[in-house]
Amino acid sequence: MTPLPKFSVMEIDFDLLLECDGQIIILVPDDGEMGMIASFINKMMDGALGRFLNSEVFEKLSPGKVLSLSYPTGLMAKSVTVAKIDPNSSISETRNCGVEITKIATCEKILLVSDKFKRIADLVEGISMRNYEYLDQKTNTNPKPLDVGVMVHKIENQATEIDLKLAVVDGVFFTRDLINAPANVLTTTTFANQLSALSKLGITVEVLDELELEKLGMRTLLCVGQGSESPSKVVVMQWNGGGDEAPFAFVGKGVVFDTGGISLKPAGGMEDMTMDMGGAGVVAGAMKALALRKAKANVVGVVGLVENMPSGNAVRPGDVVKSMKGDTVEVINTDAEGRLVLADILWYTQERFNPTGMINLATLTGAIIVGLGHEMAGVFSNNDKLCKKFINAAMAEGEGAWRMPLAPAYDKLLKSRIADMKNVGSRAAGSITAGQFLQRFVKDDMPWVHLDIAGVASIATESAFSPKGATGWGVRALNRMIADHYEPREDTPGG
């Protein structure tokens, strides 16, 4: 696993500034005014910092951007980097500035000094989110954590705030590691093992095997994995940090590799289907984040882990399978497998937990990429209130999410001649008919959101907060939604 950066908060210490042999990052407001620390550094540098802050170059530097002065006289540091950030910058501006800082971090030791800037935790979030590299499959690498000293005028609760952010970033890194892992490394079994290990954080983890799934009648889930050597599994993770109320539920598609099955995918780009367990990966990361920050809420995460392979045992186009709910499905296309997995685990989650609400995540359709590209996930919901809660949380975290429609007219496209439904519609509205299929396994009064994350789970180019590859999209939005709406507020006792 990519190590999280380490942060230590300290009060002003001029000797430390002089001795620092790493990179010094100094936060300077838009007007270039120097506070006590900047003035000291300027004095040591024989006025060079001041000349820069008075220059046109600084004036033209966009807010949130950084510029480095290398090997400054008077200091041991390799560089002094000015980050132009105003004390009243927004959370997202601050986070983005953190990302810029990480991009110029070339050595392991950083001293971040702040004269006036207060939003340290948001800056730390940006720094950590971008400080990720998937190295598990490279030999001769020994990733060392970034070591960041944070020098402030007065130590208040910065350390606690930083720890809270790092708990969530830890969850994000867990998700990214899972999504980036190749399918021969992350099999249904090793995935389940990694989830079982979350029990040391206080999460109750159960792994249901094929025999148990058969007994429960999960034939739509099981038919997806029946062509694979890897056994299908359902993993249930419970975090009980609340009272005795019913939990909120996260449900994730965990197809560790999607060849398409007998409806085989074309060869070009098939290797990307290692990320088809992205929904389950986000659920896992969100559960880890909640546990690490000891969230005062009850949340259950349910993931279906299967591999979609062609073989003599594989499910065929035209086969009819019976879901746990009891409805029969004609499998027209074995590549529309995610919805078959989700159908059974959505139903199972409702029957077992009767949750107060349910959000499922899945890399479900290529069509959502056609519609929304790689900036926004598709949001489908039967409940305006829950949908708003989620979209607002995603917006606050800078994670793109855009609502798409559901309607009975689309549902008609799933009519089958011989069974209760078929698993695909026509080419038109592919992401919506997938959502309609899922809705058939959601009870009418169950507040539910379906997130189609095919476009955002893993991206070929770098994104705002992550390098190329897995993004961890959704972990922070889910965490915030729980924090904002399902945990007691600290400022309103009893509320």
| Residue 302 near residue 355, CB atoms below 8 Å | no
HSE-up (13 A, CA, CB side) for residue 168: 24
Does 338 help bind Zn ion (rule: CB under 5 A)? Answer: yes
Does 335 help bind Mn ion (rule: CB under 5 A)? Answer: yes
Does 124 help bind ligand BES (rule: CB under 6 A)? Answer: no
Amino acid identity at 328: T
Does 447 help bind ligand BES (rule: CB under 6 A)? Answer: no
| Residue 291 near residue 382, CB atoms below 8 Å | no
Number of H helices, E strands in the chain: 17, 19
Site pattern 275..304 for ligand BES (x: CB under 6 A): -x----------------------------
Q: Minimum distance between the CB of residue 307 and Mn ion, rounded to whole angstroms?
A: 11
336, 345, 438, 456: which one binds ligand BES (CB under 6 A): 336
100, 115, 170, 258: which one binds Mn ion (CB under 5 A): 258
389 three-class SS:
helix
Does 338 help bind ligand BES (rule: CB under 6 A)? Answer: yes
Does 258 help bind ligand BES (rule: CB under 6 A)? Answer: yes
Q: Minimum distance between the CB of residue 365 and ligand BES, rounded to whole angstroms?
A: 4
**Binding partner at 241 among ligand BES, Zn ion, Mn ion, none, C-beta below 5 to 8 Å by kind:** none
53, 251, 295, 367: which one binds ligand BES (CB under 6 A): 367
Does 452 help bind Mn ion (rule: CB under 5 A)? Answer: no
**Binding partner at 125 among Zn ion, Mn ion, ligand BES, none, C-beta below 5 to 8 Å by kind:** none
**Binding partner at 342 among Mn ion, ligand BES, Zn ion, none, C-beta below 5 to 8 Å by kind:** none
Per-residue tokens: 92: 């997202």
Q: Closer to Mn ion at the Cβ: 114 or 360? A: 360
Conformation bin of residue 197: beta by default, left when phi > 0, alpha when psi is -120 to 50 = alpha
Instruction: Tell me how far apart the 2 most distant CA atoms of the chain are, in Å.
Output: 84
Q: Minimum distance between the CB of residue 335 and Mn ion, rounded to whole angstroms?
A: 4
**Among 65, 103, 118, 265, the one annotated catalytic:** 265
Residue whose token pair is 């927004």: 90
Does 411 help bind Zn ion (rule: CB under 5 A)? Answer: no
339 in active site: yes
68, 92, 190, 333: which one binds ligand BES (CB under 6 A): 333
Q: Closer to Mn ion at the Cβ: 330 or 335? A: 335
What are the DSSP calls for 72-96, one per residue?
-TTS--SEEEEEE--TT--HHHHHH
430, 435, 447, 467: which one binds ligand BES (CB under 6 A): 430
Report CA-CA distances (Å) from 160 to 112, 165, 169, 250, 493.
17, 9, 14, 27, 20
**Among 95, 165, 339, 389, the one annotated catalytic:** 339
The b/e string for 227-237 (b: 16+ C-beta within 10 A; e otherwise) is bbebbbbbbbb
Residue whose token pair is 């924090």: 483
What are the DSSP calls for 34-65, one per residue?
--HHHHHHHHHTTTHHHHHHTSHHHHHSPTT-
Q: Closer to ligand BES at the Cβ: 83 or 283? A: 283
316 in active site: no
128, 363, 382, 439: which one binds ligand BES (CB under 6 A): 363
| Residue 172 near residue 274, CB atoms below 8 Å | no
Per-residue tokens: 266: 């074309």
Does 337 help bind ligand BES (rule: CB under 6 A)? Answer: yes
What are the DSSP calls for 118-137, one per residue?
--HHHHHHHHHHH-----TT
Per CB under 5 A, residues contacting Zn ion are: 255, 258, 276, 338
Per CB under 6 A, residues contacting ligand BES are: 258, 276, 333, 335-338, 363-367, 424, 430, 454
